[in-house]
Chains A and B, each alone.
Chain A
């Protein structure tokens, strides 16, 4: 576990870089979190996916997998991998300040 400074706030991240306390997250941290993932410019679709991840987590208690994202977020699987080449659900979950999605498919 490490403490990272996002913007001006200290947050706890686990060994894989996910928020230990999702409640420490706020939307103004998104650009900074994205930069840590190598995404310098956030497009409208990046925002759409990150907000979707967050709202799914808030309503269901866990983040969606790539398959679920592809079916329900309004962004196709192909586009998701273009937006987040290092793994759409995983990277967007880190940026959205939620735990790693646990589905196998």
Chain B
């Protein structure tokens, strides 16, 4: 068997429902396998750890050909909300936690949660805007130091 992966650092760069979940599932799964895991939220991915925004993450219904929905229909008022509710309902029935609950759970597994300093500055945010589980706001250089010796996954 090839050498087992012992550490992963996962970058979450998108702020849509479908942009955030994969990174969370991979981080949680890494911890379940006994790996060390860190999550680094950058750009719109910061919404996943934003106190006021992480309960309102939406599915992208425009520019998302995977939905098999005409672009004009995806842009109609309420469609994104409706599709998000539908997806949340499906996820709930499979016992997939909501984003706020999932992030809290991942923090409880001992994974590290970090916000990207460049993005925090860009959006004029501060530590207070984020949920308490966020360990720190770090630079890209600090991220690489943190990620040393493991795999880096960009989502």
| CB closest chain-A residue, reference B101 | A67
Contact B33 A90 (CB under 8 A): yes
In-complex Cβ contact of A90 among B34, B97, B105, B108 (8 A): B34
Q: Which stretch (A24-32, A52-60, A78-86) binds chain B? A: A78-86
Known: A105-B28, A105-B97. A77 touches B109 (CB 8 A): yes
- Interface positions of B from 26 to 66, Cβ below 8 Å from A: 28-29, 31-34
Contact B105 A77 (CB under 8 A): yes
In-complex Cβ contact of B25 among A86, A88, A105 (8 A): A105
A104 interface contact, C-beta 8 A: yes
Q: How many A-B residue pairs have CB under 8 A?
A: 44
Contact B1 A78 (CB under 8 A): no
For B, the interface residue count at a CB cutoff of 8 angstroms equals: 15
Contact A67 B33 (CB under 8 A): no
A5 interface contact, C-beta 8 A: no
**B100-114 interface bits toward A, Cβ cutoff 8 Å, 1 = contact, 0 = none:** 000001001110000
In-complex Cβ contact of A87 among B1, B33, B105, B108 (8 A): B33
- Residues on B with C-beta less than 8 A from A68 are 95
In-complex Cβ contact of B32 among A65, A76, A78 (8 A): A65
Contact B25 A81 (CB under 8 A): no
Distance of A42 Cα from B97 Cα, bound (Å): 31
B binding-site residues for A, Cβ under 8 Å: 1, 25, 28-29, 31-34, 95-97, 105, 108-110
- Residues on B with C-beta less than 8 A from A87 are 31-34
Q: Which of A85, A87, A105 has the most CB of B within 10 A?
A: A105
Q: Closest approach, in angstroms, between the C-beta of A32 and any C-beta of chain B? A: 20
> Can you list the 6 inter-chain pairs with the closest CB atoms, starting with the nearest?
A87-B34, A86-B34, A77-B108, A78-B108, A66-B32, A81-B110
Distance of A104 Cα from B1 Cα, bound (Å): 22
Distance of A91 Cα from B32 Cα, bound (Å): 9
In-complex Cβ contact of B34 among A65, A78, A91, A104 (8 A): A91
Contact B109 A90 (CB under 8 A): no
Q: Closest approach, in angstroms, between the C-beta of A33 and any C-beta of chain B? A: 16
In-complex Cβ contact of A67 among B1, B34, B97, B110 (8 A): B97
- Residues on A with C-beta less than 8 A from B32 are 65-66, 87-90
- Residues on A with C-beta less than 8 A from B31 are 66, 81, 87
Q: Closest approach, in angstroms, between the C-beta of A88 and any C-beta of chain B? A: 8
Known: A15-B1, A65-B32. A81 touches B108 (CB 8 A): yes
